[in-house]
Structure 1
């Protein structure tokens, strides 16, 4: 949605548009009352527009289209129907002469990227399909009389990173292609097809801003430039006008429109038609706006000279183009308005939360001095790093370092406590597994796309991946079996469901992976047999069977805890183990196949920690470190482009913002959610957690959340004019809110401190 706004209005979308983009039913983001090139075309006599594809256009422009057929853009599991629904209208519309503009927004390539990445085997066939569609349209433009003067604009609203997502600032995400196609361009001689990029990774052709599309369409199709446009007419099209005065008039109209915005933003500067020399233009201007003022004056002087020169050489156009580019850059960087009082109010609110959390923790005493000291080291380090853009982008290293330091502390503690001999081996195992976690997914910006286990090793050795996945599912089933010792016929009957439940969950992931990344299935002997066995069942149905099965078994575990005699240690252990294992099965279902073996590593880490006789504070610090470390190990980062939508539609046949939103959160926070359950598993066997300090765990976590949120809010406010405010710091604030509201309040407090604590204890 933000990119569509830039393309149609020529303006710079605000960051709130990114948030509104996820709320498909939202109406506050409509462009119905803004000046766009669609509105200009529709205002022309007989103006009619038609649209097929992404229904975002219908929400942004209600009532704008004479004919339309929209498809939801968020149902990313569909690669085919979303595009066929557009293509089927082409033959009929190419023969119609009753429209001025037709918009076709294809979604297949975007969906393939989200589901399987840019190197998916689905990508090349889909690109060839797009090529054939362009050929079909251009052939009609050459044959149909009403299309002889038509213009075909082929563009991407965004690119994608190595993970197939978008929303960040990497070269792949911000370098979509743009092509203007028309039979009238054949005589211009501007066609070039370089085989290798020039300096930049994606720099094959000339680079323009996305907002330049709006004024360029206005000039080519003969309608006024939208009022809020910050784009510049693409100079390469100026040769279409043979007369110099026509080219100059086109640029002047673009400049007059932008100068109105400049005057409103900087009312204290002279931007009029005078050619009088400004004194500060003799030397070096002392500010960007002063430099812009001087460029405007030079452009006016050249225009004045052009009035007396009938030849109008192209050199006269260059000062106007320089002014337009400078004004575009300056106004784009100042397009955001800040309500500082609201920012300060938010900081004050977070500051109060921090002070209350700190006071609450101090009231609980100073037990566990070393662990508390390490906790405050994490607080100070994390808060300081939020003011450095590079560290925000590469936050995963902070958590890996702090987790490694904590493991060293556990080793040191074991070396001073001869009663805990297992601590030596345990610390070594934890360190080894943490190192493996660190190499599982390369996240962040600097090392994104570098070789790792999930995306490199497993693609070269898929047989190893499936052996590890099979081991993980087998371990889940084995952990469910011992939990049937309660002498209850109903419970024993329910235990018979565990084998088909875990088996069908495994089969679902096999079929799901075959649809998303079939290269991970090839040459694995028994997997095609499993796929053929459920070929008649849709992925939606298979997912529902697994999710409903997990839900029923989990509800029964809760029922046992609420109604039966669960005071016996064995009964508590059975219920605790069953629920934790079922939760693991659910989280695995919501994770990519390449990440499933990580849960087996988490399981081993939990077993090691349970043998170390940790205090409540030590368990809390461990929980905090592994919640965050697991988030990044599973592929998360602080970039919006890293949001994984591949499992957001498991069991969902259509777009539902609530259900899809919940599944998206669970899929991206599966690791932290797992560690919340594992933490309460550890706390339930710790005597001090049950008796002396029942609330200390959640108080320490709340202190960290309050501190981190305060640091992020101060950083965003203090660095609001920073070059990376919208690409680094603002996304980090969104992630901080997700950690605060969803992970801490919903998962840590409501789910963990209330349900799990009651269920496990």
Structure 2
């Protein structure tokens, strides 16, 4: 398409987390005024997952990224192949870039000049944008570039920290509005186009990654050309830009051009672009091959004779076919390796049955064969072992699984099991089966709330019923602390009320009460010596100062981290209590003030459960339910948008993927981990890990199996894939807990053995 007349300069002004409803008279008055005379505003539908890296890929390649890009977004390791950036370079265009350094990872050594800013340090929403803006004015004084790409991050960071309704949002939008206006005025005499869009939106709670309307609807503003408003997919944008600039379309694109936005270009060029677009998609889809042939014949006849009487029909045919092919390709853009998925499912069945046998004491040994199985799985999947080997290994695994099932059934039929155990086990299995429905995944918190409260009521007829009443009363309140799920996530909750400026006193009181309760428990029940107690007290005071008065004070955050590990070192005796103390302090440091009350509630409820339940299995399951219920009370859901990114940066000056990931996982799964540690303290039996592992494997197995069966479901990327990712990370955290506990047990045994050997030598 090099025959097109191309503008000398094109600005691409990208705002991270720019919701469509942010474009208003109050927030962006200059933009809307310019659009009245020299541009248009279109609505862009964004595909899931709504995180930065896959969305940049969609904006530049015109393809639909895979869900694995969520992980690659965090690791920032992937580079793109063919895209509008590559096509522009091939046509001799020189590009400058400033903003999110994800672009520099995707497109290394491509830009004439560039400066990246880290997209992950969310507490910075000022310098991260100022660093972009200061380069803009220098570039406008130069004339050696053709395309300028700007990716501002401040709005996204504000959303992660304080949400879209924060008083910081409007000034930030007005700041960006002024910058666009200034760029427009300074380049008014040039043949240029200015585009403003967002990679994704922002959930009402502040995050992104899910599929809510506010996350998947962003604006597309075009200044400098006469055009009409339209509704687009994000994959359409590269083709629109390519058409304006006279570039070839990215080869992997499944997007379609918009005749409304391209209404200002010459008819010949529009028809050429439509024909080019249709041929590109026709190589990937045969949805309307006959209409494409008809439209192409009419187009070639037009080129030969110049008769424009049938032009409207040509445009209509092309436009209709492009929409149908785009819809078909988007629907089938999800590709899975069926053999690998079946392999993983069979292996999980084997691990599940093997773990059950370990719990039932049918065999000796813990996790040995299961660990070997996971190692073989990883080798096969990572190194793409020959399919014949995979099939043979699957057959061997099936035989081993059948043997495990045989032993399990023989043991169960010969053992008397109480009715209450059968009921509780059935409820866990029922929960796993419920994952087959997308609505049950979206509203999973309702299941755990019901299970937990029902279990407490079932234990009401024992002694000290006042304790059960207290727990039920408190739980009724804290489950309204953070709205979660899908249907009611945007409804007002206690946390939003506490964060209002007029209610800051109540927030302070609640935070102080939570810290005092945590301090009382740690100082009286956990701390083993006076030095341990003193450091714990200092840590809690410093955490209060950090969270209330100086949340961005990096040195203070680092000091607290050092003190936590010093506190563990001065415990002298490493045991389950020292681990509980350390974990409580870490969780307290990472938590937002309004959520801290969940920690003392978890401690108190665990104590009540341990006093009233004698069965090890039922006590383990009750703590499992407690941890899951509080996980959702904290505001989490099965949407990636509910992850509190800000918790990953406590005490960090810049983005470090290892530290950020560890802090994010620790914050996200802090309450399930705390309930496991409290369970281990009350139960003091290593077999609880086996029980927890079985139920963890069960939910992972069912989730993977259901996702495999429904891999062509409409909600595979928006519901089932995020569920697999979250359950996998939960399983990873459980595995880390098991390994750490076994390491401590090994060290303790080693110390006892050394003491015994020393005693023998002294006696001799």
Task: Name the TM tier (shorter chain).
Answer: 0.7 to 0.9
1:703 counterpart (656, 674, 694): 694
The answer (yes or no) to whether the contact 1:295–1:322 under 8 Å persists in 2 is no
Q: Does 1:178 align with 2:176?
A: no
2:335 aligned residue: 337
DSSP 3-state at the match of 2:284: helix
Distance 1:713-1:755 versus aligned 2 partners, 3 A rule: same
Distance in 1 (CA, whole Å) between partners of 2:74 and 2:197 is 22
| 1:378 matched residue in structure 2 | 427
Q: Distance in 2 between matches of 1:484 and 1:53?
A: 48
User: In the superposition, relative to structure 1, how do residues 752 and 381 fare at CA in structure 2: closer, same or farther (>3 Å)?
Assistant: farther
Once the two structures are TM-superposed, the CA of residue 241 in structure 1 deviates from its matched residue by 2.7
CA offsets per residue over residues 644-697 of structure 1, 9 Å max, x none? 11110111112111111100101111211221222123224xxxxxxxxx3432
1: CA distance, partners of 2:192 / 2:555: 46
* Alignment equivalent of 1:543, drawn from 536, 557, 574: 557
1:20 paired with 2:69, answer: no
Q: CA deviation at 1:482?
A: 3.4
Q: Deviations over 1:557-598 (max 9, x none)?
A: 2x234xxxxxxxxxxxxx765653443222011111221122
Tell me the SS of whatever aligns to 2:649: coil
Could you tell me which residue of structure 2 aligns to residue 62 of structure 1? 108
1:116 corresponds to 2:107: no
Report the Cα offset of residue 41 of structure 1: 1.5
1:369: Cα distance to partner? 2.4
* Per-residue deviation, 1:102: 0.9
Find out whether 1:209 has 2:233 as its counterpart: yes
Aligned to 1:526: none
Say if 1:404 and 1:499 are closer, same or farther in 2 by CA, change over 3 A: closer
| Structure 1 residues 524-563: aligned runs within 5 Å | 539-557=553-571, 559-561=572-574
Taking a change above 3 Å as real, the CA distance of residues 130 and 21 of structure 1, as seen in their structure-2 partners, is same
CA contact (8 A) 2:240 2:262 kept: no
- The corresponding residue for 1:260 is 283
Query: Contact conserved, 2:576 with 2:677, CA < 8 A, in 1?
Result: no
In 2: Cα distance, 1:329 partner to 1:107 partner: 31
Pairwise CA distance, 1:722: 0.3
In structure 2, do the counterparts of structure 1 residues 367 and 758 end up closer, same or farther at CA, with 3 Å as the change threshold? farther
Equivalent-residue separation in structure 2 for 1:507 and 1:75 (angstroms)? 21
Residue 241, structure 1, aligned to residue 290, structure 2 = no
Question: What's the CA shift string for 1:110-145, capped at 9, x where partnerless?
Answer: 1111122111222111111111110111011115xx
Deviations, residues 67-113 of structure 1 (Å, cap 9, x unaligned): 11111111112111111110001111112110111111111111111
**Any idea what SS the aligned residue of 2:217 has?**
coil
In the TM superposition, what are the counterparts of 1:361-376 in structure 2 within 5 Å? 361-363=359-361, 369-376=418-425
Shift of 1:707: 1.1
Q: CA deviation at 1:301?
A: 5.9
Q: C-alpha displacement at 1:359, in angstroms? A: 2.3
For residues 475-490 of structure 1, what are the structure 2 equivalents within 5 Å? Answer: 475-482=517-524
Instruction: Give the Cα–Cα distance (whole angstroms) in 2 for the partners of residues 394 and 606 of structure 1.
Output: 25
Moved more, 446-455 or 496-505: 496-505
Structure-2 change in CA distance of 1:101 and 1:576 (3 Å): same
Q: Partner residue of 2:292?
A: 296
Is 1:155 the counterpart of 2:168? The answer is no
Deviation string 1:394-414 (CA, Å, 9 cap, x unpaired) is 1111111111221122224x2
User: Partner of 2:251: helix, strand, or coil?
Assistant: coil
Structure 1 CA distance for aligned equivalents of residues 441 and 344 of structure 2: 21
Which residue of the partner structure matches residue 275 of structure 1?
A: none
Alignment correspondent of 1:196: none
User: Any residues of structure 2 matched to 1:322-471 within 5 Å, and which?
Assistant: 322-363=320-361, 369-412=418-461, 414=462, 421-422=463-464, 424-459=465-500, 461-471=503-513
Deviations, residues 413-434 of structure 1 (Å, cap 9, x unaligned): x2xxxxxx21x22222222233
Query: Counterpart of 2:252?
Result: 228
Query: For residues 757 and 586 of structure 1, do their structure 2 counterparts lie closer, same or farther at Cα, with a shift above 3 Å needed?
Result: farther
TM-score (norm 1): 0.80
CA contact (8 A) 1:580 1:678 kept: yes
2:634: which partner in 1? 634
Distance in structure 1 (CA, Å) of the matches to 2:566 and 2:424: 39
Which of 32, 40, 56 is the aligned partner of 2:87? Answer: 40
Counterpart of 1:676? 676
Deviation for aligned residue 1:700: 1.6
Task: Give the number of aligned pairs.
Answer: 644
Cα distance in 2 for residues equivalent to 1:208 and 1:400: 40
| Cα separation, 2, equivalents of 1:312 and 1:94 | 45
Shift in Å, 1:436: 2.2
Task: Describe the superposition over 1:33-70 as per-residue Cα deviations: whole angstroms up to 9, x where unpaired.
Answer: x221111211224x211111111111101110111111
Q: 1:746 aligned to 2:742? A: no
Q: Mapping of 1:591-740 within 5 angstroms?
A: 591-684=591-684, 694-740=685-731
Q: Report the alpha carbon displacement of residue 608 of structure 1 after superposing the two structures with TM.
A: 2.4
Contact 1:368 1:617 (C-alpha < 8 Å) held by counterparts: no
Question: Do 1:458 and 1:464's aligned partners in 2 also have CA atoms closer than 8 Å?
Answer: no
CA 1:494/1:239 → structure 2, altered by over 3 Å: closer, same or farther? Answer: closer
Tell me, in whole angstroms, the C-alpha distance in 2 between the residues paired with 1:381 and 1:112: 40
Counterparts of 1:625 and 1:714 in 2: how far apart (Å)?
23
What SS is found at the alignment partner of 2:115? strand
SS at match of 1:51: strand
Contact 1:476 1:581 in 2 (8 A): no
Q: After TM superposition, give the deviation of residue 362 of structure 1 in Å.
A: 3.2
- What is the SS of the residue equivalent to 1:440? coil
2:510 touches 2:594 (CA, 8 Å); kept in 1?
no
CA deviations on 1:150-192 (whole Å, 9 max, x unpaired) are: 111111011010121111111111111111111x43xx5x4xx
> For residues 496-507 of structure 1, what are the structure 2 equivalents within 5 Å?
496-507=534-545
Q: Distance in 1 between matches of 2:262 and 2:176?
A: 29
Match of 1:97 in 2: 143
Aligned to 1:251: 274
C-alpha separation in 2, matches of 1:758 and 1:162: 48
Contact 1:433 1:605 in 2 (8 A): no
Is the partner of 2:315 in helix, strand or coil? helix
Deviation at 1:305, TM superposition (A): 6.6
Distance in 2 (alpha carbons) for counterparts of 1:158 and 1:759: 51
Structure 2 CA distance for aligned equivalents of residues 390 and 481 of structure 1: 44
The change in CA–CA distance for 1:101 and 1:209 in structure 2 (over 3 A counts) is: same
Unaligned runs of 5+ in 1: 191-204, 267-288, 415-420, 516-538, 562-574, 685-693
1:6 alignment counterpart? 58
Contact 1:479–1:581 under 8 Å retained in 2: no
* Deviation, structure 1 residue 753: 6.0
Distance 1:397 1:759 in 2: 41
Q: Please report how far the alpha carbon of residue 349 of structure 1 lies from its aligned counterpart in structure 2 after TM superposition.
A: 0.5
SS in 1 for 2:549: helix
Aligned to 2:12: none
CA distance in 2, matches of 1:476, 1:80: 35
**Does the residue aligned with 1:238 lie in a helix, a strand or coil?**
coil
CA distance in 1 between partners of 2:514 and 2:727 (Å):
31
Question: 2:624, 2:676 within 8 Å by CA — same for their partners in 1?
Answer: no
